[in-house]
C-alpha cells in the first residue's frame, strides 16, 4: 500500500491531500476541491496556509483567482483583503472572517486538516 493511501486510512478522515510541496510555487495559491472548497496559499517565504476558498463578501474563489501579497490575500472582485494566517478581514468591503484550516506537510505531501 502506498504511503498516501496509508495517510488517508483510518483515523485520518479529516486530513485532505492537497498537493506535493513542489506543485505549489511560492507566492501562489490553489483551490483544494471537496465538499467545502479550501484555498491553499504558499507565501514567498514558503509557508503554507489554508482558508475557506470563497470570499466572505462576494462569492469568488480565492484559491483560483486572487493576489497574494505577503500574508494577505486580495479578492480581485472588490479588493477585499484577508490575513491568510487568521482569516481576519483587513478592509472593507469584507467584514466577516474566512474560516482557517491547519496544514501538515508529511514526506513532501501537503495536507489540509479539518
Residue span of the structural domain in which 49 resides = 3-113
pTM over 0.85? The answer is yes
**CATH, residue 68:** 2.102.10.10
Sheet of 48-52: strand order equals: 15-20, 109-113, 100-106, 48-52, 38-42, 28-32
- Looking at the chain, the number of H-run helices and the number of E-run strands are 1, 9
46-100 per-position pLDDT tens digit: 999 999 999 999 999 999 999 999 999 999 999 999 999 999 999 999 999 999 9
Amino acid at each position: 500500500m502506498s504511503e498516501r493511501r496509508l495517510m488517508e486510512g483510518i483515523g485520518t478522515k479529516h486530513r485532505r491531500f492537497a498537493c506535493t510541496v513542489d506543485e505549489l510555487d511560492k507566492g501562489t495559491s490553489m483551490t483544494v476541491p471537496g465538499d467545502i472548497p479550501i484555498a491553499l496559499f504558499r507565501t514567498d517565504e514558503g509557508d503554507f496556509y489554508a482558508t475557506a476558498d470563497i470570499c466572505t463578501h462576494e462569492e469568488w474563489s480565492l484559491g483560483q483567482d486572487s493576489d497574494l501579497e505577503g500574508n494577505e490575500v486580495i479578492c480581485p472582485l472588490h479588493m477585499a483583503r484577508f490575513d491568510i494566517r487568521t482569516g481576519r478581514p483587513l478592509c472593507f468591503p469584507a467584514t466577516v472572517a474566512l474560516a482557517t484550516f491547519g496544514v501538515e506537510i508529511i514526506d513532501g505531501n501537503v495536507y489540509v486538516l479539518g
